[in-house]
Amino acid sequence: MNEIKTNPMRGVLCTTIGGVFWGFSGTCGQYLFSHYEISSLWLTCVRLLVGGGILTLLALLRNRDSVRGIFRSRRDTLQLLCYGVFGLLLCQYAYMTAISYSNAATTTVLQNLGPVLIMLYTCLRSRRKPHRREAISLVLALFGVYLLATGGNPTQMMLSSQGLFWGLAAAVAVMLYSLLPRRLLTRWDQSAVTGLGMLTGGIVLTLASRSWNDSVSLPIQGWLAVAAIVLLGTAVAFSLIMQGVMDIGPVRSSMLAATEPVSATIFSAFWLGTEFAATDLIGFACIIATIFLLAKSE
C-alpha cells in the first residue's frame, strides 16, 4: 500500500498540512493545561475514543472488509490490541502528559526522537554498527536532548524531570507505534488499523482509569480546543498523513511531517507567548535534522 504513488502534489500537501495540524493540536493541549483544570488522562481518553471512532467509521465506509477481517484472526486481534495499548495509547498519553509538564514545542521535538530509536533497534536486530548518517543522527539527537534539558549548562536542568521523562517516553511510544502494526498494515487497510487501534486503546484506558467519573467544566473556547485536538489533530491529521504516505511513500512523508515540531514551536511562541532560549532552538534544529538524515539513509 505504501508504494502506491498516485498523486505526488496531493501527497506533499496532505503530509505538510497533516503535520501542521498535529503541531497545532499539541499547542491546543498546552493551552488547555495552562488555563483549565483538566488531566492528560481525561484528554487522552477523549482523543482516542472520539478520534478512533471517527477513523473507524471512515474505514467502514471505505473498506468494510478490513474492519471485519482483523477480528476474524486471533493473531491479528491480539496484534491490534498490542498496537492500541502499547503504541497509540502510550504515545498519546505520554505526549499529552509531557505537554502538561513542559510545552507543545519541546514535547513534539522530543517525540521526534522516535526515528532515532527505530534506527538503533534496527541496528541491534541486524547486529550491525550504525552507518555514517545514522551515527551522525545519533550524536545530533543526544546533543539536542542535552541542550533542551540543560540549556548547555550540565549543572542545571532547564526542563523539568517530568517533562523530560514523558517526552522521552513519547519517543519510545513512537518507536512502538511504528513497529507494532507492520504486519497488520500489509494485510489490512491503514485507516482501519489506525482507527481500530485508537478505539481499542481508548476503551482500555477509559475502563482502567474510569475517566467518566472526572468532572470537566470548560467554557466554549476550552471545548473548541478539545474539538481541535480530536478532529484536526487526530481524525483529519491522521487521514491526511495516511493519504500522503500512499501518494509519495513513507520516506518523503516523514521528512515533510517535520512541519509538526516547526508549527508547534510557532504556535506556542505567537499564540501562547512561550519563550525559547537560543539553546532550545539549536536543540530543536539538531533533533529535527535527524529526520532528514535518517530518511536519506533509507
Please choose, from the candidates 277, 265, 225, the residue with its C-alpha nearest in 3D space to the C-alpha of residue 19: 265
* Nearest Cα to Cα of residue 159 among 96, 93, 106, 91: 106
CA distances from residue 119 to 32, 110, 139, 288 in whole angstroms, order as listed: 34, 16, 13, 15
In this prediction, residue 1 carries a pLDDT of 40
pLDDT of residue 95: 95
pLDDT of residue 134: 86
Question: Quick one: DSSP state of residue 127?
Answer: T
Residues recorded for the chain: 298
Q: Domain-by-domain residue ranges, the chain?
A: 8-297
| pLDDT cut 70: percent of the chain above it | 96
Q: Kindly report the CA angle at 128 between 124 and 129, in degrees rounded to 5? A: 100
Runs of H (alpha helix) within the chain: 8-35, 40-62, 64-70, 74-82, 90-101, 104-111, 114-126, 132-150, 161-179, 182-187, 190-209, 220-227, 237-248, 250-256, 259-270, 278-297
pLDDT at 152: 86
HEC string for 238-295: HHHHHHHHHHHCHHHHHHHCCHHHHHHHHHHHHCCCCCCCHHHHHHHHHHHHHHHHHH
Amino acid at 241: I
* pLDDT on residue 252: 72
With a cut of 70, which residues of the chain have pLDDT below it? 1-6, 250-251, 296-298
Identify the pLDDT of residue 22: 92
pLDDT recorded at residue 6 = 61
Q: Looking up cell 526522537, which residue turns up?
A: 113
Q: What is the pLDDT of residues 81-126, one digit of tens each?
A: 999 999 999 999 999 999 999 999 999 999 988 888 888 988 898 8
Look at residues 269, 55, 21, 44 and name the one whose alpha carbon lies nearest to residue 169: 44
Q: What is the pTM of this model?
A: 0.88
Interval 236-254: pLDDT, tens: 988 888 788 778 876 677 7
